[in-house]
Amino acid sequence: MPRRGEYRKSFPAPKPRAPEPGRIGIREVIAAEGNGDKAVVSIDPQSFTCTTVAAELADEWLELMTSATFSLGLARGFRRTVVDFCEHVDATVPRAAEASLALGDPDMHFAVTEWLRLLPSRYKTGSREPGWSAGRLRSLIARRIEHPDRKVAGHLNGWVKGALGLRRGQTEELDEFTRADKQKLVRAAWADRLATEARIRSGRALAVSGTDPAEGGWFVPANLLWAIFHGAWSCEEIAERLPRWADMPAALHDLLPADTPMNVGKRRLLRYLVRQLYPHNLDLHSYRILLMAATGRASEEVSALNEDDVEFGPRSVMIDFSKGRARAEMRQAFSVQNTDAVLHPSKPRLDAAEIIQGLLGLTRPLAERAGITPAPLFLKGAISTYSLTIRPFDGCMQQATLVDWMADHDVSVSGLVDIRRLRKSGKVEKAIAFKGRVSDIADDHSVETFHGHYAHGTTLRVIAGNVITAAQRRWFDQALNGPVVLSREAEQSLQEPGAAAALGLSAEDVEQLRAGQLDMGVTGCKNPFDAPYGRPGQLCPVAPTRCLECRNAFILPSNLPQLLLFAAHLDQLQLRLSPAHFHALWGQSRVNVRAAIAARTDAEIALARRQIADDGLTLQLPLASHVEFDS
């Protein structure tokens, strides 16, 4: 799921507030919740026995949150680390009240190493939290070491520069959505997108028909929509001019369900009016799903896009994706589908350009109202108390997560509900399209990232299946492309009608084979000018060394002496080459020649050996082949 703070590039978090008078002892950070409310994260050094150590770490924590872009989750994570370490110091370090990072006694380096040793025992095996927590503490101590006016004693400097001392742990990789689950998600997102655009289009049309509520009346929905959309009246001002929910006129009371609680009726009314004009966090889930399915990119890459990242062309759209975790940027083009072909498609059209244009039409007024340039694609309008807040999409927002969206649209999937599984579904489809070639699948990240995060589950099975199938096809083709061995009876039967045609031979070919006119040395060949190793019309360039692996070859009884000589040559060659080298070059030839010799009777083999000895026969190889054998 997208993490909090990943959109802070365009929307910086509020800066921490300076401590109020009378609260000097408490270090606190004021941050924004996902729904626009404020949250306070604080550290009180006085709550620990090791007051000095807690104050030193709290100071570094507060300055780190002040100097860098941060999220509420990040502030809370560092706070957990400080509290956890200080509790460890209180429980294990003698004279904890005197402990300080600037003093060598008590030894804080020993306290850190003991904390690191015990930290993994409090989490399940393989958890990444111990490594994260140790990294946070090292970041705080490293900041203190770099400060010229703050002393850090002992061996903590060496720990900061050296190894962390803990394994980073590992996460259990998620498998992708099944094809059926992905189709359900995309269909539901498509329907929700159409409903969202119809709702906002209708609401904005109604706002155009309205007028200033100060003149046309505060109880007319069109006038309230006009005031909100044009910014003539703030939502707080509208709330002040509306009566209690119990006294609300029917024109406004009927906009909400009859069971709306009295104490939140006015707030929900404003929320309803804002949703008629602008998308809410739940509405943006459908656009994220559709864009991820259309582009195959990760959730954070899609939801961080702005109008400057998109360049529309006549037949394509160029999108610049940025992945903060990998510090990588990539430009990718997507073709534009023909919008005139089908006015009302029955199936979702995963056209990245059309989806982006529709989303910009919904969110651009929000960006203009907030003065945000360039306009982000994923922007929401919401009511916090009675104020209109304009914020980026938050996939982890309470009561507006992907789980909530799926529950609202009655979508169920097998396994864990996690948007990252949609990205992996795209990876599986790419693995199938590229036949498991990792260099093509890992085109938007490193091969190491692919091996660590994507090469498992269905993707691994696809790659393994393609490798096995390719190997089987190679050996199967080699087995089928070998020569045809004819016995004396089979050679004589070639004269019968239909026998030669079954082997792809004409009557002329049969006569030439029997007369030796097509003898290539080790075997006969039905067409030396149509070899699989050369160009059409060219005399076979690899005969006779590769004849035993060729589909054009015919082994006749008269070829047996040369087969025996060729087998002897291969046996000698095997003694001079490494096993791997010999097997790669001549392994299949040796298998075929042994099979051809084994098809002859012992009497035929003995007769062939006497013929070799009596006539002084030698292996008929061209000079180039002798050079290859002798090298």
Strand, helix or coil at 335?
A: strand
Residues of the chain short of pLDDT 50, as ranges, are: 1-24, 34-36, 341-342, 627-631
> Are 190 and 175 within 8 A, CB to CB?
no
Contacts for 539 with CB less than 8 Å, ≥ 6 apart: 528, 529, 531
Burial of 424 (0-12, 13-18, 19+ CB in 10 A): buried
pTM, two decimals, is 0.59
What is the rounded distance in angstroms from the CA atom of residue 26 to the CA atom of residue 76?
Answer: 15
Q: What is the pLDDT of residue 15?
A: 46
Taking alpha carbons only, the member of 64, 75, 73, 59 closest to residue 19 is: 59
- Residues whose CB falls within 8 Å of the CB of residue 66, separated by 6 or more in sequence, listed in order: 15, 16
pLDDT at 298: 83
Q: What six digits make up the tokens of 326? A: 């990998």
Owner of token pair 């651009």: 364
In 3D space, the residue among 401, 310, 288 whose CA is nearest the CA of residue 4 turns out to be: 401
493: three-class secondary structure by DSSP: helix
Return the pLDDT at 582. Answer: 85
Q: Count the Cβ atoms, other than its own, within 10 Å of residue 339.
A: 12
pLDDT of residue 36: 46
Reported as a single tens digit per residue, the pLDDT across 253-282 is 899 988 888 888 899 999 999 999 999 999
Residue in 527, 525, 544, 545 with CA at minimum distance from that of residue 536: 527
Rounded to a whole number, what is the distance in angstroms from the first to the last CA of the chain?
A: 61
- pLDDT tens for 4-44 read 333 333 334 444 444 443 334 677 776 555 444 556 778 88
| CA atoms lying within 13 Å on the CB side of residue 85 | 34
Residue 199 structure tokens: 């709702």
Structure tokens at 260: 């709306």
Both tokens of residue 507? 């009557």
CA distance 220 to 565: 104
Residue 468 CA, chain-centre distance (Å), reads 25
Q: Which two tokens stand for residue 396?
A: 């982890």
What is the Cα gyration radius of the chain? Answer: 39
In this structure, the strands spanning 553-555 and 484-485 are parallel
Helix (H, G, I), strand (E, B) or coil at 167: coil
Nearest alpha-carbon partner for 184 in 431, 422, 486: 422
The pLDDT score that the predictor gives to residue 482 is 65
Give the total residue count for the chain: 631
Taking alpha carbons only, the member of 126, 145, 125 closest to residue 137 is 145
Cα–Cα distances in angstroms (integers) from residue 44 to residues 27, 56, 362, 375, in the given order: 6, 11, 45, 40
Distance of CA 366 to the CA centre of its chain: 31
Amino acid found at 360: L
Question: Could you identify the residue written with the tokens 């109604």?
Answer: 206
- pLDDT score for 87: 94
Write the pLDDT tens digit of every residue in 356-402: 999 999 999 999 999 998 999 999 998 888 889 898 898 888 888 99
* Residue 21: per-residue pLDDT: 38
